[in-house]
Structure 1
Amino acid sequence: MTFLLFAEQMLNGLQFGIMLFLMAAGLTLVFGVMGLINLAHGSLYMIGAFAAAAVAGATGSFVLALMASLAAAAAAGALIELTVIRRLYKRDHLDQVLATFALILILSEGTRWVFGSFPLYLDVPSYLSGPVTLPGGIQYPLYRLAIILAGLLVAGGLFALIARTRIGIQIRAGEADREMIAALGIDISRLYTLVFALGAALAGLAGALVGAIQSVQVGMGEPVLILAFVVIVIGGIGSIKGALVGALLVGMTDTMGGVLLPRFFALFMDPSAATTIGASLGSMLIYILMAAVLIVRPSGLYGSA
């Protein structure tokens, strides 16, 4: 493997990890603060992607498309929390799983009814299209670099929100002892709605950013949701730092495993068989990583015991 190919795959892994962080951050916020297993989080990712594609098609503005993804996913999240999720906080996790699985079906069919069954396409804006030359002669798509930068800025803003603001203090306090902050006069219902809408907005933004790389279609959020669960298990439930570290680990492991393992097995066997075996094992690596982390640290890298 050449240095240029290795560096390009490292950047691909970083970009994939950043996308997973945007999904996992909202998921771990909701689970950490509200104790809710939300299987419908992937549907909010899908809603953000469809909203962005629709607005971009109507206005031709990618910036407005991103704003629409944030607004649509946050509004959908707040509405879902007010009408459905609020009734599940005191129920056991099985009820939460069943209810949010039903939301997946409802939101998928609702999206199909509004936008149709055919995929939509969100074009990369002209000012972010084409490759850029990095140090070492690496040619890499400018849009993917913009995704990495945008994700890191969002991560920094989220860390600042949680650590430096009053609402962040309330979110952290709600994670530690929700009964106490309710007794101190904080409107816990409004806080839960805000946290759920924030998590939904992050998922919607991820959907919009990825929508310019792949097609926007019904059901696109479920595969990403599975990986987001892997991320928060590795990083530790309720930890934003853990979500970032776990997402980068998963992104790098998934990308580099799919590239390096076929080349490794090609040293010992027929190239076609090496490609098949290497690709199969590469897709398993993230779950092997998750199992290894859980053996050493059952609560995740940054989770509480």
Structure 2
Amino acid sequence: MKQLKHKKLLLALIVIILLICIGFVSAGFYFFKVACVPGPKSFLSSSSSKLTKSDPLYHEKKWFRDSTKQKWHIKSADGQYQLTANYLPCHNSNKTVVVLPGYMDTKEDMGEYDALFHKMGYNTLTPDPRSQGQSQGKYIGYGWPEKNDVKKWIEFLLQKKGQQQQIVVYGLSMGAATAMMVSGLKLPHQVKAFVEDCGYTSVKDEIEHEAKALYNMPAFPRFPLVEILSGINKMKVGYFMKDGSSITQLHKNHRPMLFIHGDRDKFVPTEMVYQNYRATRGPKKLWIAADSAHAKSFANHPKAYRKHIENFLTKYVK
């Protein structure tokens, strides 16, 4: 009788463990869809496409809207997807900035940054990341697979515009993390510098932060859930989230990099920029923009933003 009770208890325990595991795996697939599958995101603020003169970047956005854009196309680095970019020439300049959009943003959302660099005398090449805008793709890679696409865009730019090009890579938010990940690759010598604005330390760090910030999720079940999500990401996208590390790539970087971050950033916590800044091996500068939330440093400080970037790049791009 006692042995039978023990067997029943063991069976009940196994069933409970299996149900918990099934629950975690189901939750992992749900959060993978929320985080990594393109589509409307309830946690993102919707930005109006209406242009108003009260917008601090009205002139930049209007310039972009009125500009003629060349459409460029390449295949992704893995050959799976057709990727699209805007190219905006600046007179006969041999200086080009590759402008990298953020999470669920498109090349059209980066118009004020195209205008910013155009005023400095740069051409701009602004790709839609895979699965965003007009670029094909199944999943959002948070910069890790996209870094190889950016390298391919750089090589394509050199083929089209010549080896005399001087190239800067600029990124915002996810695009900033992508830029930092690109910095650790073997790149053509024409890549002179990087500018990153509010990028995260790693995909895993950012996902863990969002699980806590958006869902108020305690350490348990957050830790096992993120690990399961990372395993699903490995199956679907091809990498574990901890491997998608800006810091690891920055350790390999010896090119100049300007780091920008708002002091009130809650989406990508401001403390992440200090870790990224310490990690890079090249010349560097850090600017913390006062009273600025995530990706708002340019809108809040347009003159200072341009000055910081211009002063930094002048040292490395002739």
TM-score (norm 1): 0.25
- For the pair shown, which has the larger CA radius of gyration, 1 or 2? 2
Higher relative contact order (CA 8 A, sep 6+): 1
Structure with greater strand percent: 2
Structure with greater helix percent: 1
TM-score (norm 2): 0.24
